[in-house]
Amino acid sequence: MSRLSTESELNTLRETLVSARQTIVKSITMCGGTGCQASGCKAVVEAVKAELAKKELADDVDLKVTGCHGFCEQGPLMVIEPGNIFYCHVSPEDAAEIVETTIVGGEAVERLLYTDPGTGEVAKTESQIPFYAAQDQVLIGRNKQLDPQSIEDYIAGGGYKALAKVLAQANPEAVIDEVKTSGLRGRGGGGFPTGRKWESCRAAANGQGRYVICNADEGDPGAYMDRSILEGNPHSVIEGMIIGAYAIDSNQGAMYIRNEYPLALKHSQVAIEQARQYGLLGDNILGSGFSFDVEIARGAGAFVCGESTALMASLEGKVGEPSPKDIHTTEKGLWDRPTNLNNVETWANIPGIIDNGGEWFAAKGTKTSTGTKVFALTGQVKNTGLVEVPMGTSIRTVVFDIGGGAPEGGKVKAVQTGGPSGGCLPVSKFNLKIDFDTLDKAGSMVGSGGMVVMDEKTCMVDVAKYFLEFLQDESCGKCVPCRVGVDRMLEIVTDISQGRGRPEHLDLLEELGETIAETSLCALGKTAPNPVLSTLKYFRKEYEAHINDGQCPAGVCRELISYKIDPDKCNGCGLCAKACPHDVISGEKKQPHTIDQEICTKCGICHDTCKFDAAIVV
């Protein structure tokens, strides 16, 4: 690969790459996202490779491992061209049949196709699957088309075209205007207008240079959009950053990537190296005279570092504590220089906006929340995975049409959005549109895009307790309202969940929550009461049942329940006794078993194990 020094050299390279790819007729695309890797896609790739070699087809078939396709629950996923045939749950043993039947014979292997669990309909292509049909995969869709470790794939698909366009026009203000026209708002959770942020950073006095940062410290539990974008299409983020740097006049950039995401780290490193080799990063990019380079910093496992000032402190090698924002980081950020920080998904949207125009982006979504947003749909829902929909799509569409509702036997009760900063919304609110302002008003938030579906087996007091425990653990401890306030809220909610709650606790929680929200230093503390306040607002009855009746309606809170074995249903198979991690179940073979209540920890494993519904919650 040689350095590109003009826009026309980039175009020539693209043409060469595109024409070379036009000869490819047959291709196998394997999803290689973390989800599919966990499901064993690597072994499948090896098996397919071996099978192709055996049949001497290796040169005729393009075998590609890509980033996340989104439908993680069904992994490992495979797409075969021609025909856009979609296979799910592929195993290495299927390789021979796939090559023989589909690659050679051109027919689909029926048993590997997706069957809709609701209707029983078999889908041959992705577009026939309801999970994909209702989506608009602007960002995630590109993951399926390229090998994340090949800059050539990215360039062939139109990559770095937007950067070349921006450099050729040589008008940074026009770039900012285009982003402002798009209406793009920060995808990390804050929802601040991106164009305005860039504008204020550009306007800040530039003594020793400005910084551009990509926040890839995705820490919200239940969210992995950024991980999938970085793993699957790192060049889109890097191109976005270079364009942003050009617009605000910066020469130095950093990507702060979570250490728990090794694949995202590796792919970003490879992408940066490749971009440097092609002269798309470094000095005098495409002969424009503009220079910019990016370094990678690994996060060290602190949720609070997702907050911009804490992240910058961490980049400086310090403890990740936030600072007051009376002076914006766009004026005084990393090393006290003007710093523009955006989240992974925000950066990834930039090339598309420049390519297609701000108005193209603004035409999607709602008036105040434009474009598409990627959500991680997880929890008690049939189709878990990454979902990209235009802003303004209803919660119902996402949870039921795309997600397929609760798994067998369950009933959806609520959805939790926005991670620990967000809230829980009941089914009665599912007609709400997902956009920044609507969810905010309802007491939750879009946040970075986690959507955890909860069913009737989820206790909302337990959920509130879970988030408080998380926040107490992750609070950096710098300011009193967050450090002490969250601790006190956790004490009260723990009391409620253990049967020591008093009626006045509920008002106290609300009062405490409001104080913490008003007085905390950073967004972590300011939004920390949301999970409690939203569950109190919509699920107050559950709190009251714990306090007044000493009952946990969902059968979750351990101090309020116990497990018993129904002697009429128990046939003495002994499965539960074997499964019990603390050996508290005993009984003669083929005779009803009993649980020693004295030492039972109420973990519920017996309940999950019993095939005859004999281990019951009372």
Tell which one of 318, 441, 569, 590 touches another protein (CB under 8 A): 318
80 binds another protein (CB under 8 A): no
Cα–Cα dist 57/531, whole Å? 55
Question: Which residues between 128 and 187 bind another protein (CB under 8 A)?
Answer: none
Tell which one of 458, 475, 497, 530 touches another protein (CB under 8 A): 458
218 binds another protein (CB under 8 A): yes
Question: Which residues between 225 and 264 bind another protein (CB under 8 A)?
Answer: 227, 258-262
Written as six digits, the tokens of 180 are: 């402002």
Measuring CA to CA, which residue among 222, 199, 218 is closest to residue 210? 199
Collapse the DSSP code of 489 into the 3-class scheme (helix H, G, I; strand E, B; otherwise coil) and give the result: helix
Q: Which is nearer to another protein, 288 or 609 (CB)?
A: 609
Amino acid at 567: P
Q: Which is nearer to another protein, 311 or 565 (CB)?
A: 311
Tell which one of 452, 460, 523, 532 touches another protein (CB under 8 A): 452
Q: Which is nearer to another protein, 25 or 300 (CB)?
A: 300
Cα–Cα dist 196/177, whole Å? 9
Q: List, edge to edge, every strand of the sheet that includes 26-31.
A: 61-66, 26-31, 78-81, 85-87
Measuring CA to CA, which residue among 421, 345, 419, 433 is closest to residue 379? 419
209 binds another protein (CB under 8 A): no
Asked if 186 and 342 touch (Cβ cutoff 8 Å), the reply is yes
Cα–Cα dist 128/235, whole Å? 30
Question: Which residues between 35 and 54 bind another protein (CB under 8 A)?
Answer: 35, 37-39
Range in contact with another protein (rule: CB under 8 A) among 42-50, 137-145, 446-454, 592-600: 446-454
Range in contact with another protein (rule: CB under 8 A) among 14-22, 99-107, 241-249, 575-583: 575-583
Cα–Cα dist 610/597, whole Å? 18
- Least spacing, CB of residue 568 vs another protein, in Å: 25
Torsion of CA 254, 255, 259, 261, to 10 degrees: -160
Residue 198 vs residues 36, 76, 213: alpha-carbon distances, Å: 37, 40, 12
The torsion angles phi and psi of 35, rounded to 5 degrees, stand at -60, -50
The torsion angles phi and psi of 364, rounded to 5 degrees, stand at -90, 150
Q: Which is nearer to another protein, 183 or 232 (CB)?
A: 232
Q: Which is nearer to another protein, 48 or 584 (CB)?
A: 584
- Least spacing, CB of residue 38 vs another protein, in Å: 4
Tell which one of 82, 207, 409, 581 touches another protein (CB under 8 A): 581
Asked if 412 and 380 touch (Cβ cutoff 8 Å), the reply is yes
493 binds another protein (CB under 8 A): no
224 binds another protein (CB under 8 A): yes
Question: Which residues between 275 and 314 bind another protein (CB under 8 A)?
Answer: 297-303, 314
Q: Which is nearer to another protein, 517 or 605 (CB)?
A: 605
- Least spacing, CB of residue 60 vs another protein, in Å: 33
Q: Which is nearer to another protein, 220 or 307 (CB)?
A: 220
Measuring CA to CA, which residue among 374, 415, 382 is closest to residue 539? 415
Helices assigned H by DSSP within 233-343: 234-248, 262-277, 308-315
Tell which one of 92, 390, 419, 529 touches another protein (CB under 8 A): 419
Measuring CA to CA, which residue among 193, 228, 245 is closest to residue 361? 193
Pairing relationship of beta strands 114-115 and 122-123 according to DSSP bridges: antiparallel
416 binds another protein (CB under 8 A): yes
Tell which one of 51, 178, 220, 435 touches another protein (CB under 8 A): 220
Cα–Cα dist 183/368, whole Å? 7
99 binds another protein (CB under 8 A): no
199 binds another protein (CB under 8 A): no
In the chain the first and final C-alpha atoms are separated, in Å, by: 68
- Least spacing, CB of residue 385 vs another protein, in Å: 5
421 binds another protein (CB under 8 A): no
Range in contact with another protein (rule: CB under 8 A) among 33-41, 138-146, 350-358, 509-517: 33-41
Name, in order, each residue with C-beta under 8 angstroms of 128's C-beta and a sequence gap of 6 or more. none
73 binds another protein (CB under 8 A): yes
Written as six digits, the tokens of 531 are: 């999970």
Cα–Cα–Cα angle for 357, 358, 364, rounded to 5 degrees? 110
Q: Which is nearer to another protein, 152 or 345 (CB)?
A: 345
- Least spacing, CB of residue 83 vs another protein, in Å: 26
Length of the chain: 618
Positions touching another protein (CB under 8 A) are: 34-35, 37-39, 72-73, 75, 218-224, 227, 258-262, 297-303, 314-320, 376-380, 384-386, 416, 419, 450, 452-454, 458, 463, 466-467, 470, 473-474, 476, 579, 581-582, 601, 603-605, 608-609
